[in-house]
Amino acid sequence: MAVVSGGSRGLGRVLVERLLAEGWQVATFSRKPNEFTGAMAQAHPETFLWESVDLQETAQIRQFTKTVKERFTAVDLLVNNAGVLHQELFLTIAPQKIDDLLAANLTAPVHLTQACARLMMRGGGSIVNISSINAIRGYRGVGVYAAAKAGLEGFGRALARELGPVGIRVNTVTPGFFDSELTSDVTDRNREKIQHRTPLGRLGTVEEIADAVLFLASPQARFITGQSLVIDGGITC
Ligand SMILES: NC(=O)c1ccc[n+]([C@@H]2O[C@H](COP(=O)([O-])OP(=O)(O)OC[C@H]3O[C@@H](n4cnc5c(N)ncnc54)[C@H](OP(=O)(O)O)[C@@H]3O)[C@@H](O)[C@H]2O)c1
């Protein structure tokens, strides 16, 4: 069974759809339900679970994993997908906003990973963390988000060493820009700039990022752990 954080829209939604179509049991959360989570709950009453969880609330994350354990017993795949982007220059960003960004993008996935890894101990499994090219290149206005994502990548490498011996692989997908609600504020001019700087000459699609996640989760990647796979059309090369 698979746990995907933030499965109500964007990349998380595509992963939920594709995993369910492949026959996985899937548990996901977001703060709010929507048409998609409602439709999945109706279409897959036995194999789909959605709960309301806020990444800022560690107790809610732990409670969610308790529900997962009661309903599904073990976890085979965790995708730490949910993330929050807030763009603001570092000198003006409010202290509370800094804490919130680090909590959502780093602390929360660390807690979710610990709880899920404990449910992988018997049969092994795979963890895929969703980072961002902000973790590996400097861009203005995203310092705190970049710090959290770079932290997530380091976390993944350390964990790969620790959990490899018990059969748990840990990898990172590092996407460049793709269209979603997270990036809805990006202006057309900036989209054109990104496209222009991208060797493959276009923006990525959410399906292409999902392909990389599902590859790392699959048996085809059974000897890959501790790695980051950058999916960005070459913009960081
Ligand atoms: N889009 C890009 O260009 C891009 C590029 C590089 C990396 N990424 C990374 O890719 C991942 C997916 O991004 P996306 O573009 O698909 O994002 P998205 O469309 O904004 O979806 C985010 C998901 O996370 C949930 N979420 C957000 N804040 C939450 C919170 N505080 N507590 C619980 N759930 C929360 C959202 O539901 P609710 O709002 O209802 O909670 C939603 O289900 C993120 O980790 C992001 O950093 C995205």
pLDDT tens track for 43-76? 999 999 999 999 999 999 999 999 999 999 999 9
How far apart (Å, rounded) are the C-alpha atoms in residues 179 and 195?
12
Domains of the chain (ranges, CATH numbers): 2-231 (3.40.50.720)
Q: Which pLDDT score is estimated for 145?
A: 98
pLDDT at 27: 98
Tell me if 86 sits within 8 A of 185, measured CB to CB. Answer: no
Counting from 1 in the atom list of ligand 1, the atom nearest the Cα of 204 is 3
CA–CA distance, 50 with 62 (Å, rounded to integer): 15
The predicted pLDDT at position 135 comes to: 98
Average pLDDT of each block of 10 consecutive residues along the chain (237 residues)? Answer: 98 98 98 98 98 97 98 97 97 98 98 98 96 96 98 98 98 96 90 96 97 98 98 97
Residue 141 tokens, joined: 């206005």
Residue nearest to atom 37 of ligand 1 (CA): 30
Burial label for 121, CB within 10 Å (0-12, 13-18, 19+), is middle
> Helix (H, G, I), strand (E, B), or coil: what is residue 145?
helix
Q: Is 139 marked active-site? A: no
Query: What tens digit of pLDDT does each residue of 4-33 get?
Result: 999 999 999 999 999 999 999 999 999 999
What's the CA-to-centroid distance between 2 and ligand 1, angstroms? Answer: 18
Residue 28's nearest CA partner among 86, 101, 77, 84 is 77
Q: What pLDDT does residue 141 have?
A: 96
What's the pLDDT at 118? 98
How much distance in Å is there from the Cα of 91 to the middle of ligand 1?
A: 25
Q: Report pLDDT for 191.
A: 93
Do 28 and 6 form a contact (C-beta atoms < 8 A)? Answer: yes
Ligand 1 atom 43 nearest Cα: 6
Asked whether 131 and 88 are in contact (CB, 8 A), the reply is: no
* CA-angle at 221, arms to 217 and 227, nearest 5°: 85
